[in-house]
Every structure is written in structure tokens, then in C-alpha cells.
Structure 1
Amino acid sequence: ATLDAAWSEPKNIGSPINTEDGEFYPSIANNGDFYFTRDNPDLKTKDDIYKSVYENNRYQKPKKLPMSINTEGYEYNAFIAPDASYIIFGSYNRKDGFGSGDLYISFQTEDGWTPAENLGANINSNKMDYCPFVDTKTNTLYFTSKRDHTKVQQEKALTTEEFISELHKADNGSSRLYQVSIDALLKQ
């Protein structure tokens, strides 16, 4: 396949997944179940993660994932494992967080989803960490982070060269992509 290959026209998935609210960041398990974020301003909660079961060749009415994953705050940008054994997602300003948004993991068991666990300081920063994706062949987690390790100099203005040097640092507070092995985490 090439970029010159014939692409179909984008088609709105429609109901019951799309509503008058905002739906974004889809992730689909091998069985066809569709996980996504919905921004529903009518509810007391903020963004939450939903699942629509694929059954009888169509998606069923989405249901919000349980409180072991969703809270009254923001949960978003979920990656579901192909076999739906785990889900990694972003959550904003939880009590066990490191700052802004952090990445969490929950495992699917016979009893349902385990309470979400913060992925820790090796992955999360005091800035926004979000948009997880796992290469399941290598158990490599890719994610976006706005971590910032630039030097703030208030006593004097930066020279043009110093400013450009700070601007081009990988961890300058702009959204950048990171990768980390989560092999040990998934083999627990």
C-alpha cells in the first residue's frame, strides 16, 4: 500500500457512538469492542472513557467504564490492549498524580477492572503526560509529554543562541514523544 492508493471517504461512525457531545481518541480491541473518550457536559463528571461492544455486526450503546477507571475528574486517551487484558489512559489531577495529567493502568480480571494505578515517576512527570500507545510486539509504551527541564533565567535576557538552544531541547515543555519498555509491568 502507498499513499497514492485509493482511500475511501471518511465516514461518520454515527450513533450510538457519536452523539451531540464530543467523542475522541478511539482504541479498538481485537474482538471489535470500541473504547473512546466522551466529553459529556450534562454529567457531573468530566471526560470519561466509554466502551461500545461490537455485537451482531454493529456497535451497541456505549457504557461508561467503572469507577475503578473513571472518576469525577478527567479520564481520556485510552489505549486498550488487543486482548483487552489492560487499559492505559490519561487522567488529570488525581490525588496520587505527579502534577498535571498522568498515565494510569488497569487490568481486566474475572472480577472486572482493577483499580487504576499511576504508572509512576519513571513515566509520569509534573507536567501533562498523555496519548499512550503500546507496541504490543515489543511492549514499548509510546506517549506524549510536556515535561520541561529548560532553565529560566530571570536576571538577564537570553541571547539569541541561548534562546534557540533552550527552544530546541527535547524536554522544553512542548509536546514531545517518549518511549519506555513496560515489559516488566505486563509480566507481573
Structure 2
Amino acid sequence: MKLRTIALAMAFALGCAGAVDAAELLGPGVISTGMQETTAAFSPDGETLYFMRSDLAETDDTIMVSRRHGNSWTMPEVASFSGQWHDSEPAYTPDGKRLYFVSNRPVHAGDPPLTAKMLGQTFAGTNLWYVEQQANGHLGEPVHVDGALNDGAMLYNPSLAANGDIYFSAHRPDSGDLYQIYVVHPAGSAYSTPQRVELGDTSHNRMDPCIDPQGRFLLFAGNEGDSLGRADIYIAFRKADGSWSKPEHLGGDVNTKSLENAPTLGRQFGELYVSSNRQEDVRFPKPRDTAASLQKRLSGPLNGSRDIWRVDIADVLRAHGIKD
């Protein structure tokens, strides 16, 4: 994860794909806190939320779960399948029957945890797993997804389409120096060989895909040469021939001079959640802090850790002919 953050640190400039409503912090103090929170995964009814929480160095990732209670969220708990390994990036299938995630847990019990190597560094590796919804409302035991998609143990941010396609970011032999986005298709009881999604020159870093369930558009984090900060959120639209349009930089409050990544779709049309380490402006002289006020401010959301934000891109989608 740390290397992924390094890989996302690139240039800045301007650009946009249209206006976006003002960003709203998700669950301030409950979901979004002074720790790192990313990757919001909502159940189909919108009543259950899985997300990742970690330390600032991203060496200890855990998947959390919270339930909607009226207009607020319950205090998150560690997900039933997480808490022992480096688990991150939950993603529901559109029908809610499975929740996918990535983990460094060994494929075979008793083996050491997965590791990966890049740029001379060794770090927690990742394979793709899922848990299945049970009749009693609970989630089953984690199941490993076998296949070439896990080659190299550097698979991140799975995103599921309604037809069973799985999109993810990875560093593979045809990725160039950075990360690219790949897709696999169901093939009987397995999956096809991963195919790189053609979005342009591989000199650009592309990560954290989020596929529209119907496959009409693809969101991702990276820098196409016009990022405002370390990484921004882009959108590409599927053309009539099945290829993808040139990625467009999202405008409005989706992107800032901070790091934006891990886009995920909510359950309403145009509802988008992104992770960002944007902070409140500090102006000097500031109201004099006490030890208590300083502790509260620096340990809460907007302290420079990544939080989860909600934005609405419905107008952008409609401008490209995509309707509810």
C-alpha cells in the first residue's frame, strides 16, 4: 500500500469533466476519523457499509463494518472475516451476494503471509478473496479466487460489474513502470487471463478502478497529466465499439490539491464516494489552542489523514447520455 501511495504522487494542472456538487464528509468522527479510511462499499439496500481503516503508514489495514441507524452510522466494528491479516478494499457485487476484498493471508493454512516486491522494497502482498452472504444474514468464510489475476501478489481495488467481470489495478509485466487497470471475464468456474484496459500511454499511473455495474463508464485514480495534486479521480466512457474514451478529469469538489483515490459508487444515481486527505485551512493567527482543543482537532477528521467523502456526479453522467 505504501508503494502505491508513492506511485500516485505526480504532477498538477487543470481540467474537468463538468460541475459536481459540494463534497460531504461521510460519518465525521464515526466513519471518517483521524485514522486512514478509504473504499466505501455499500450493501444494495444502503444499510450496511464496509470500509478500510488503517494507520497513517498503511502497514496495518483492517476492514470495518457499520450499520445505518436513521441518519447516522453505528460505531464501526471489525468485519467478521477481518482483523488478523492485512485486509483492504472491500467491494460488493451489484446483487450484494458477495463481498470481495484483497488480503495478504496465505492461500493455504499454515503458510506465511503473502509478500510482494517492487522497486527494491518488500511489502504485504495481496490476493483476491470473497465472502458470501448466507441465508442467516451473516457472511461466510473467506474464499480465495484462483487464477492468473493473482500473479505477482499485487492486485488492488476490485470492482465488480453485473455481468461478472472483475476490474482491478495491478503491476504486471505489461504495466510499464507503474500500475494499470485490468479486467477478467468469467470463464466457466474460473476467470479469463487478465487483460489490460486500454486507457492510453502506460507512462501514466492508473489505479483503484470503479466500474459502473452496467459497464457504461469507468472511474479510477491517477494522473493523466492534469492532476491537481498527487492523484485525482478520472472518468472514461465506453464507446459503441467497446473501447474506452480518453479519460476525463472530474471537476467540482471531487478533486483538490490533496490526494484523491479509491472511488466507489453509492446506491443512488450519480452518488460517488472518494478517499481524500484534504484538510481544513489553518489561518494565522488562529484562535489560541488549549491542549484539549489541539488534541481534538489533530486527532479528528480533516487532520491530513484520508477520509471518505460523498459527491454527486449525476450531471456529468447525464451530459454523456447516461440516465438513471
TM over 0.5: same fold?
A: yes
CA distance in 2, matches of 1:46, 1:154: 42
Quote the offset at 1:58 in angstroms: 2.7
Quote the offset at 1:138 in angstroms: 3.2
CA distance in 2, matches of 1:6, 1:83: 27
Aligned to 1:117: 248
Aligned to 1:160: 291
**CA shift digits 1:127-180 (9 cap, x unpaired):** 11111111243321111110122427699x954144235325642211111111
Aligned to 2:302: 171
Matched, 1:106 2:236: yes
Residue number among 71, 77, 88 corresponding to 2:202 in the alignment: 71
Residue number among 132, 137, 153 corresponding to 2:268 in the alignment: 137
Aligned to 1:51: 183
Indicate the larger mover: 166-175 or 19-28: 166-175
CA distance in 2, matches of 1:34, 1:9: 20
Aligned to 1:83: 214
Describe the SS at the equivalent of 2:268.
coil
Matched, 1:29 2:161: yes
CA distance in 2, matches of 1:136, 1:187: 17
Aligned to 2:280: 149
CA distance in 1, matches of 2:153, 2:173: 8
Quote the offset at 1:5 in angstroms: 5.0
Matched, 1:182 2:313: yes
**CA shift digits 1:108-133 (9 cap, x unpaired):** 01131000011124210111111111
CA distance in 1, matches of 2:187, 2:290: 61
The answer to whether the 8 A contact 2:221-2:232 is kept is yes
CA distance in 2, matches of 1:58, 1:125: 40
The answer to whether the 8 A contact 1:21-1:41 is kept is no
CA distance in 1, matches of 2:293, 2:255: 28
The answer to whether the 8 A contact 1:106-1:114 is kept is yes
Quote the offset at 1:14 in angstroms: 1.7
Gaps of 5+ in 1: none
| Cα distance change of structure 1 residues 24 and 176 upon mapping to structure 2, 3 Å threshold | same
The answer to whether the 8 A contact 2:180-2:205 is kept is yes
Root mean square deviation of aligned Cα: 2.7
The answer to whether the 8 A contact 1:40-1:46 is kept is no
Matched, 1:95 2:217: no
Describe the SS at the equivalent of 1:109.
coil
Matched, 1:60 2:192: yes
CA distance in 2, matches of 1:187, 1:6: 37
> Percent sequence identity over matched residues?
26
Gaps of 5+ in 2: 1-132, 320-324
Indicate the larger mover: 96-105 or 45-54: 45-54
Aligned residues: 184
Residue number among 33, 36, 39 corresponding to 2:171 in the alignment: 39
Please tell me the residue identity of whatever aligns with 1:102: D
Quote the offset at 1:86 in angstroms: 0.3
Aligned to 2:116: none
Describe the SS at the equivalent of 1:104.
strand
| Cα distance change of structure 1 residues 43 and 49 upon mapping to structure 2, 3 Å threshold | closer
CA distance in 2, matches of 1:57, 1:89: 28
Indicate the larger mover: 140-149 or 159-168: 159-168
Indicate the larger mover: 51-60 or 111-120: 51-60
- Greater RCO (Cα-Cα under 8 Å, separation 6 or more): 2
Quote the offset at 1:45 in angstroms: 3.0
